[in-house]
Amino acid sequence: MNRGSGGRVETIAAAATAPGRGAIGIVRLSGPQAAEIGRRITGIDPTPRHAHYAHFRDAGGGEIDEGLVLFFPAPHSYTGEDMLELHTHGNPVILDQLVAVAVSLGARPARAGEFTERAFLNGRLDLAQAEAVADLIGSQSAEGARSALASLRGEFSTQLREVSDRLRRLRVDMEALLDFSEDDIAPGTRERQCADLGTLGHGLEEILANCRRGVVLTEGLKVVILGRPNAGKSSLFNRLLREARAIVNETPGTTRDALRAEMQIRGVPVSLIDTAGLRGPAQAGDPIEREGMRRAREALAWADHVLLVVPWDAALNEEDREVMAGKPAGAQITLVRSKIDCGEMEPSERESKEGWEVWLSALTGEGMELLERRLLPAQEQGGGAYTARRRHVIGLETARAHIVEAERLLARNAPLELTAEQLRLASRHLDQITGEYTTEDLLGDIFRRFCIGK
């Protein structure tokens, strides 16, 4: 990817500072010709990592600007290649001219994210760290920036590698047993391995919780309210917003459109959507209602967190199961057992076989703080927060599912090959997060979202 058609590593150039005017603007070059191009522009043979004052000239000797030139030889540079920085006055016209001169001398304009991509390809950063660079630049709050820095320093990657290493060791142990007959395996071995898997699963669970918080810090939270007609969806929407935005009425099918509102929970931006539900009272009778259902379905596909509202005294129905099955990968779901004031029940939070439940009343407001905490768990003091992406959450969830399956197989005395295969798959999904195992598509997807010069 670094190479031109001749297989040679190309030298790339781009303005590294934000577009617009400022006191200082920086053009960066990376690649084998960086030093030579720098010499042609400045007439200076720079000492590594020293700032030199220089005049910057075009190929015909015309002066463009004056400023500083810095040289960072490979491998101790951001990209791991020879890098050169030209610090000039922060005018886009000057920066464009300098990039053009560099290009006339053999460099090519860098693609979006290409500096960071090279840093990854040269082993300076792993993939999660490279993503943290973008998060650190893009973060909108001090907490967001802090957690991006933690990821950039590798705290997230280290935790992942620990789990991945333990998985690998367990798999090696297991594969070593394949050569023995069942009678030769020491008693208690399976039990011990089962327990080890359980511990691993818990470790992963913790990383996953941190990751979810990280995604929310980076991207905000998208919450979608679904449930049968009259379940109390709009009442819940209004209560969360603390204003009577949606119409509430005892007639089933009151809400026909999807309503979106923006709010904050403890400083984190939350987009909240109230819907008509997936089925509606007349079941796709009139076209307006049908459109409402379609919009509800669309909202479901977009959710980070689904609030499935079911009156406290009702059993789950087919529509509820449809919502559960339609939840996007990586999203969470909370079963809101509504209208508890009607049954004079206490607000509570519990885990059932259907998942997490919060029992509340949108009418009285009882239990709402439980729901808010469920949507956005409080950050423990000094708890290891780091930024994360949706793809990390999906990777971790998939890895966890393979570990759960491995545990199940082990407990049922299934052939060890099958268990070992589940562990191999779990490792692979973890390795995809740090980029130890990766594909061109994934890399393109990640780095093309950076801006030029990063």
Ligand X SMILES: Nc1nc2c(ncn2[C@@H]2O[C@H](COP(=O)(O)OP(=O)(O)OP(=O)(O)O)[C@@H](O)[C@H]2O)c(=O)[nH]1
Which residues bind to Mg ion, rule: CB under 5 A? Answer: 233-234, 254-255
Q: What's the distance, Cα to Cα, between the start and end of the chain in Å?
A: 17
For residue 376, the minimal CB distance to ligand X (Å) is: 22
- In the beta sheet, which residues pair with residue 356? 334, 351
For residue 339, the minimal CB distance to ligand X (Å) is: 4
Residue among 320 and 405 whose Cβ is closer to ligand X: 320
Q: Which listed residue (12, 248, 393, 446) binds ligand X by CB under 6 A?
A: 248
The burial of 277, by beta-carbon neighbours within 10 Å (0-12 exposed, 13-18 middle, 19 or more buried), is given as buried
Structure tokens at 58: 């075009």
Q: Which listed residue (147, 151, 235, 434) binds ligand X by CB under 6 A?
A: 235
What is the rounded distance in angstroms from the CA atom of residue 136 to the CA atom of residue 152? 8
Q: Which is nearest to 229 in space by CA: 272, 283, 276?
A: 276
Largest CA distance in the chain: 86
Q: Which listed residue (25, 232, 347, 395) binds ligand X by CB under 6 A?
A: 232
- E strands, 319-376, are 332-338, 348-352, 355-359
Residue among 363 and 404 whose Cβ is closer to ligand X: 363
Residue among 234 and 332 whose Cβ is closer to Mg ion: 234
Judged by CB under 6 A, which stretch of 128-136, 154-162, 261-269, 333-341 contacts ligand X? 333-341
What is the rounded distance in angstroms from the CA atom of residue 84 to the CA atom of residue 35? 7
Q: Which listed residue (250, 318, 344, 351) binds ligand X by CB under 6 A?
A: 250
Rule CB under 6 A: is residue 233 a binding residue for ligand X? yes
What is the rounded distance in angstroms from the CA atom of residue 12 to the CA atom of residue 274? 48
- Give φ, ψ of 271 to 5 degrees: -100, 125
For residue 360, the minimal CB distance to ligand X (Å) is: 7
For residue 297, the minimal CB distance to Mg ion (Å) is: 16
| 3-class secondary-structure state, position 430 | helix
362 binds, among Mg ion, ligand X, none (CB under 5 to 8 A by kind): ligand X
What is the rounded distance in angstroms from the CA atom of residue 290 to the CA atom of residue 283? 8
Judged by CB under 6 A, which stretch of 17-25, 259-267, 297-305, 355-363 contacts ligand X? 355-363
Rule CB under 6 A: is residue 245 a binding residue for ligand X? no
For residue 331, the minimal CB distance to Mg ion (Å) is: 21
- In the beta sheet, which residues pair with residue 262? 271
Judged by CB under 6 A, which stretch of 143-151, 154-162, 228-236, 403-411 contacts ligand X? 228-236
What is the rounded distance in angstroms from the CA atom of residue 178 to the CA atom of residue 359? 49
# residues contacting ligand X (CB under 6 A): 23
357 to 396, contacts with ligand X by CB under 6 A?
A: 361-363
Judged by CB under 6 A, which stretch of 41-49, 127-135, 244-252, 407-415 contacts ligand X? 244-252
Judged by CB under 6 A, which stretch of 52-60, 184-192, 226-234, 295-303 contacts ligand X? 226-234
Contacts of 343 (CB under 8 A, 6+ apart): 312, 313
What is the rounded distance in angstroms from the CA atom of residue 134 to the CA atom of residue 149? 10
Residue among 92 and 252 whose Cβ is closer to ligand X: 252
Judged by CB under 6 A, which stretch of 52-60, 196-204, 245-253, 442-450 contacts ligand X? 245-253
Rule CB under 6 A: is residue 234 a binding residue for ligand X? yes
Judged by CB under 6 A, which stretch of 45-53, 208-216, 339-347, 394-402 contacts ligand X? 339-347
Strands 259-265 and 22-30: unpaired
Rule CB under 6 A: is residue 73 a binding residue for ligand X? no
229 binds, among ligand X, Mg ion, none (CB under 5 to 8 A by kind): ligand X
Given 3-state DSSP classes, what are the helix, strand and coil percentages for the chain, each rounded to the nearest 5? 45, 20, 35
What is the rounded distance in angstroms from the CA atom of residue 88 to the CA atom of residue 264? 41
For residue 312, the minimal CB distance to ligand X (Å) is: 9
Contacts of 315 (CB under 8 A, 6+ apart): none
124 binds, among ligand X, Mg ion, none (CB under 5 to 8 A by kind): none
Residue among 255 and 398 whose Cβ is closer to ligand X: 255
101 neighbors 58 (Cβ within 8 angstroms): yes
Length of the chain equals 454
Rule CB under 6 A: is residue 337 a binding residue for ligand X? no
Q: Which listed residue (32, 109, 220, 229) binds ligand X by CB under 6 A?
A: 229
Structure tokens at 77: 């540079």
Binding footprint of ligand X on the chain (CB under 6 A): 227, 229-235, 248-250, 252-255, 277, 338-339, 341-342, 361-363
